[in-house]
Chains A and B, each alone.
Chain A
Amino acid sequence: MKFQHYLERISGIQIFPFISLLIFVCFFVGVSYWAFKIHKSKIKEYENIPFN
């Protein structure tokens, strides 16, 4: 198996970390929003599953 180099170079690779960070921040905000929207009674129910 050989891994050829398909592209000679990639322009603007410096932006990768930035984009990745952005994706994460959006994702994080989404997840947090979700977590905090869950109704209190549901949370009570879920966290007590190990004890039922």
Chain B
Amino acid sequence: MHTEVFYYDNKFPKYFAIATIVWGVIGMLVGVIAAFQMVFPVLNFSEYFPYLSFGRLRPVHTNAVIFAFVGNGIFTAIYYSIPRLLKTEMWSKRLSALHFWGWQLIIVLAALTLLAGFTTGKEYAELEWPIDILITIIWVIFGFNMFGTILTRRERHLYVAIWFFIASWVTVAILHITNSMELPVSLFKSYSVYAGVQDALVQWWYGHNAVAFFLTTPYLGLMYYFLPKAADRPVYSYRLSIVHFWSIIFIYIWAGPHHLLYTALPEWAQSLGTVFSIMLILPSWGGMLNGLFTLRGAWDRVREDPILKFMVVAVTCYGMATFEGPMMSLKNVNAISHYSDWTIAHVHIGALGWNGFLTFGMLYWLFPKMFNTTLYSRKLASTHFWIGTLGIVLYAIPMYWSAFRSYFMMKSFTPTGQLEYQFMDIVQTIVPFYFIRAIGGTLFLAGVIIMIYNLWKTAQEGKFIESERAEAAPLTKQYVAPAGSLWHSIIERKPLMLLTFSLIVVSIGGIVEIVPTFLIKENIPQLTSVKPYTPLELQGRDIYIREGCYTCHSQMIRPFRYEISRYGEYSKAGEFVYDHPYQWGSKRTGPDLARIGGKYSDAWHFNHMLDPQSMSPGSIMPAYPHLFETEIIKSTTISKIHAMRRLGVPYAEGYESQCIKDMEIQADKISNNLLKENKIEIKSESEIIALIAYLQRLGTDIKLKK
């Protein structure tokens, strides 16, 4: 049989690897800044400009580490491993370049727009519609390049890592498109087509599966390639990896509703989320054990080799996080963990431990290979390992501590039945924990800097090999499967069939959960007293979204005594039918705001937004002085009302011609009141007036009824 000569390209793996490192540093640095802001609110720099305020910075951090750091990490792994596993070149250099530069452009645009306050207000999907479209295009380009490579391969069997890459690609595509359905209002503003409960369900189906199919499955593919390579031995059980693959993609997609336990989501959907989350332990641990057992008999090497050390801790963290996650899906545990720092600790075990350490392990392995040399300093790599580990520990422990502490304080009542602690009491006791967490994050980042120096030196000592020569026989056209082979061997050979099967498997869960929530009236009981927002309130709501208030405040009161006494009557599904997008939030750094309306005077909000510490001494909420200077652009109201009506909000036909007038009347009333009763002078066009109107409206629909 004749063989063909071809070349493995190292240029794009190198590009992606460098991008991984650069964005990793930036994403982590933003995270560290945000962590310090929660201790020292002056670091929001609110006096100077609105751009670095926590509510805007936090989405930059999450998007940067997920889509920029891990995203480029995934592409590094794919562009390096797929050609080698398939004995072929990447299909198209031009598509590789488009993919690389397109993705970096998306990241830059994402960072700039988020800082500028352009956001959809949906966690981990904050980017506005033009960027969403760009992401779709680049993702398709990446897909073509990957499938082109797979279809022109010289190795018949697709190694299991590739299955993970294929399933991740197709699932991320569906998730992104479904969750990003939005109606544009202007170039950088849109409203989610879903509202309230439905929006929440779609969002967490997306959010959870972004964790699953962006942070987990591609990294499992990465593990299945790089761990055996680094350990120089095949994976422990290839059979297990097959079962692992199919069960994990089947089950993961169902687990989204565990983010919405005790909320207004229908009970049956919550139960489904819990059941499948518990079952997730099995495939997750199957994968973890498969990874760890690969090193059986090589533990002496783990002690010496920093690359293996990183990988072992990464896989162990994966095991911890995937045990913890299902536990957090139990309703009684979730009552404690939801909205609390526990969730933050949980995701960072995953992000720093699993994704971070696995990436570092891969990079330490890859650079010497690509530069045809050995690692500059093993000692420095070990130092990185220890500093990184200490960073994770210092990050996680204070967060767990603070979660339990605040839980017990939140729910404690005095013998006479009063809440024992004010919200501010609780904030003050956990600020020191936030400080230690910020130190932990800083250490982790310091480790990365050490890595950069080490890799830089490695690159300098070696010589970059742009392409590697290889030889292999082409696949024969007429393939006859050996006698006795099962039907599955067909799937393993046929990438498009594998793609289709993965698609079917991941669709089942989504369809069973989402479709009924949309189609059945019983799921969202109507409340007649709930009315659409007034034009001014709608503008105020958009300011709330723009400033990212949802990163610290929830709008969803759970049916517990300690929440009802603190925040008011628990939230009902019918209250959110006009909320495009929903703003339930997922973290309570500040109090729930679902029923803030009428709790304080307009003047209180005015002073509080200008300087939170003046009203709540010791508050860690950022100040928002710019809202007092900027004015509402009134003309946008018309297109907003119009868009909302198209989404099903019952504004009267032709209300567009009236809405600005109504808005002015309501605004004047608020500013006149402030002047008369509190001697506060403020233009009625200021953004703060709209925000106050929105806050005073929240949760009042139901109170009126009583």
Q: Please give, as numbers and ranges, the residues of chain B lying within 8 Å of A6 by CB-CB distance.
A: 519-520
User: Does B357 interact with chain A (Cβ within 8 Å)?
Assistant: no
Please tell me if the beta carbons of B159 and A46 are within 8 angstroms of each other in the complex. yes
User: Does B229 interact with chain A (Cβ within 8 Å)?
Assistant: yes
Please tell me if the beta carbons of A46 and B512 are within 8 angstroms of each other in the complex. no
Give Cα A7–Cα B516 distance, bound, in whole angstroms. Answer: 9
* Other-chain contact of A34, B84, B229, B486, B521 (Cβ < 8 Å): B486
Please tell me if the beta carbons of B234 and A24 are within 8 angstroms of each other in the complex. no
Q: Please give, as numbers and ranges, the residues of chain B lying within 8 Å of A5 by CB-CB distance.
A: 519-521, 524
Please tell me if the beta carbons of A38 and B239 are within 8 angstroms of each other in the complex. yes
User: Does B276 interact with chain A (Cβ within 8 Å)?
Assistant: yes
Please tell me if the beta carbons of B238 and A43 are within 8 angstroms of each other in the complex. yes
Q: Please give, as numbers and ranges, the residues of chain A lying within 8 Å of B183 by CB-CB distance.
A: 1
Q: How far is the CB of A36 from chain B (nearest CB, A)?
A: 6
* Other-chain contact of B520, A10, A23, A32 (Cβ < 8 Å): A10
Known: A1-B647, A2-B647, A34-B242. A13 touches B268 (CB 8 A): yes
Q: Give residues 29-43 of A contacting B (CB, 8 Å).
A: 31-32, 34-39, 43
Give Cα A17–Cα B272 distance, bound, in whole angstroms. Answer: 5
Give Cα A40–Cα B276 distance, bound, in whole angstroms. Answer: 32
User: Does B271 interact with chain A (Cβ within 8 Å)?
Assistant: yes
Q: Please give, as numbers and ranges, the residues of chain B lying within 8 Å of A51 by CB-CB distance.
A: 228-229, 234
* Other-chain contact of A7, B81, B242, B521, B648 (Cβ < 8 Å): B521
* Other-chain contact of A1, B193, B234, B489 (Cβ < 8 Å): B193
Q: How far is the CB of B538 from chain A (nearest CB, A)?
A: 18
Q: Please give, as numbers and ranges, the residues of chain A lying within 8 Å of B242 by CB-CB distance.
A: 31, 34-35, 38
* Other-chain contact of B275, A17, A23, A38, A43 (Cβ < 8 Å): A17
Known: A46-B238, A49-B85. A8 touches B522 (CB 8 A): yes
Known: A1-B648, A21-B275, A27-B250. A50 touches B268 (CB 8 A): no
Q: Please give, as numbers and ranges, the residues of chain A lying within 8 Å of B246 by CB-CB distance.
A: 27-28, 31
Give Cα A27–Cα B159 distance, bound, in whole angstroms. Answer: 21
In the complex formed, the residue of A with least CB distance to B85 is A49
Give Cα A1–Cα B181 distance, bound, in whole angstroms. Answer: 10
Known: A3-B648, A51-B234. A34 touches B488 (CB 8 A): yes
User: Does B157 interact with chain A (Cβ within 8 Å)?
Assistant: yes
Please tell me if the beta carbons of A20 and B234 are within 8 angstroms of each other in the complex. no
Q: Please give, as numbers and ranges, the residues of chain B lying within 8 Å of A10 by CB-CB distance.
A: 516, 520, 522
Of A1, A31, A45, A47, chain B has the most CB atoms within 10 Å of the CB of A47
How many A residues touch the partner, as a band? Answer: 35 or more
User: Does B660 interact with chain A (Cβ within 8 Å)?
Assistant: no
Known: A6-B519, A10-B520, A46-B157. A35 touches B243 (CB 8 A): yes
Give Cα A47–Cα B227 distance, bound, in whole angstroms. Answer: 12
Give Cα A14–Cα B377 distance, bound, in whole angstroms. Answer: 59
Q: How far is the CB of A4 from chain B (nearest CB, A)?
A: 8
In the complex formed, the residue of A with least CB distance to B282 is A28
Interface string of B225-266 (1 = CB under 8 A from A): 100110000110011101100110011001000000000000
Give Cα A35–Cα B508 distance, bound, in whole angstroms. Answer: 22
* Other-chain contact of A47, B235, B250, B272 (Cβ < 8 Å): B235
Give Cα A28–Cα B87 distance, bound, in whole angstroms. Answer: 32
Please tell me if the beta carbons of A37 and B486 are within 8 angstroms of each other in the complex. yes
Interface string of B64-103 (1 = CB under 8 A from A): 0000000000000000010011010000000000000000
User: Does B646 interact with chain A (Cβ within 8 Å)?
Assistant: yes
In the complex formed, the residue of A with least CB distance to B646 is A1
User: Does B518 interact with chain A (Cβ within 8 Å)?
Assistant: yes
Q: Give residues 480-530 of B contacting A (CB, 8 Å).
A: 484, 486, 488-489, 505, 508-509, 512, 516, 518-522, 524
User: Does B279 interact with chain A (Cβ within 8 Å)?
Assistant: yes
Please tell me if the beta carbons of B520 and A35 are within 8 angstroms of each other in the complex. no
Give Cα A51–Cα B87 distance, bound, in whole angstroms. Answer: 11
Please tell me if the beta carbons of B239 and A36 are within 8 angstroms of each other in the complex. yes
In the complex formed, the residue of A with least CB distance to B236 is A47
Q: Give residues 598-655 of B contacting A (CB, 8 Å).
A: 646-648
* Other-chain contact of A9, B157, B243, B247, B522 (Cβ < 8 Å): B522
Please tell me if the beta carbons of B512 and A20 are within 8 angstroms of each other in the complex. yes
In the complex formed, the residue of A with least CB distance to B233 is A51
Please tell me if the beta carbons of B159 and A13 are within 8 angstroms of each other in the complex. no
Q: Please give, as numbers and ranges, the residues of chain A lying within 8 Å of B656 by CB-CB distance.
A: none
* Other-chain contact of B512, A1, A16, A50 (Cβ < 8 Å): A16
User: Does B589 interact with chain A (Cβ within 8 Å)?
Assistant: no
Q: Please give, as numbers and ranges, the residues of chain A lying within 8 Å of B85 by CB-CB distance.
A: 49-50
In the complex formed, the residue of B with least CB distance to A48 is B234
Q: Please give, as numbers and ranges, the residues of chain B lying within 8 Å of A35 by CB-CB distance.
A: 239-240, 242-243
Give Cα A46–Cα B239 distance, bound, in whole angstroms. Answer: 10
* Other-chain contact of B159, A1, A2, A14, A49 (Cβ < 8 Å): A49
User: Does B132 interact with chain A (Cβ within 8 Å)?
Assistant: no
In the complex formed, the residue of A with least CB distance to B275 is A17
Known: A49-B159, A50-B159. A24 touches B271 (CB 8 A): no
Q: Please give, as numbers and ranges, the residues of chain A lying within 8 Å of B518 by CB-CB distance.
A: 3
User: Does B198 interact with chain A (Cβ within 8 Å)?
Assistant: yes
Q: Please give, as numbers and ranges, the residues of chain A lying within 8 Å of B509 by CB-CB distance.
A: 20
Give Cα A16–Cα B520 distance, bound, in whole angstroms. Answer: 14
Q: Please give, as numbers and ranges, the residues of chain B lying within 8 Å of A17 by CB-CB distance.
A: 268, 271-272, 275
User: Does B155 interact with chain A (Cβ within 8 Å)?
Assistant: yes
Please tell me if the beta carbons of B512 and A32 are within 8 angstroms of each other in the complex. no
Q: How far is the CB of A30 from chain B (nearest CB, A)?
A: 9
Interface string of B158-175 (1 = CB under 8 A from A): 011100000000000000
Known: A1-B183, A20-B254. A43 touches B648 (CB 8 A): no
Known: A1-B648, A3-B648. A23 touches B229 (CB 8 A): no
Known: A8-B522, A10-B516, A27-B250. A50 touches B225 (CB 8 A): yes
User: Can you list 19 A-B pairs, Cβ within 8 angstroms, ordered by A?
Assistant: A1-B648, A2-B647, A5-B519, A5-B521, A8-B522, A24-B247, A24-B250, A27-B250, A27-B505, A28-B243, A36-B239, A37-B488, A38-B239, A43-B238, A45-B157, A46-B157, A47-B238, A50-B84, A52-B87
What are the 5 A-B residue pairs with the smallest beta carbon separation, nearest first? A5-B521, A2-B648, A47-B234, A9-B522, A47-B238
Chain B interfacial positions (CB closer than 8 Å to A): 81, 84-85, 87, 155, 157, 159-161, 183, 193-194, 198, 225, 228-229, 234-235, 238-240, 242-243, 246-247, 250-251, 254, 268, 271-272, 275-276, 279, 484, 486, 488-489, 505, 508-509, 512, 516, 518-522, 524, 646-648
- Beyond known contacts A8-B522, A47-B238, A51-B229: 19 more, CB 8 A cutoff: A3-B194, A3-B518, A5-B524, A7-B521, A10-B520, A13-B516, A16-B268, A20-B509, A24-B250, A24-B251, A34-B488, A35-B239, A38-B486, A43-B239, A50-B85, A50-B159, A50-B229, A51-B228, A51-B234
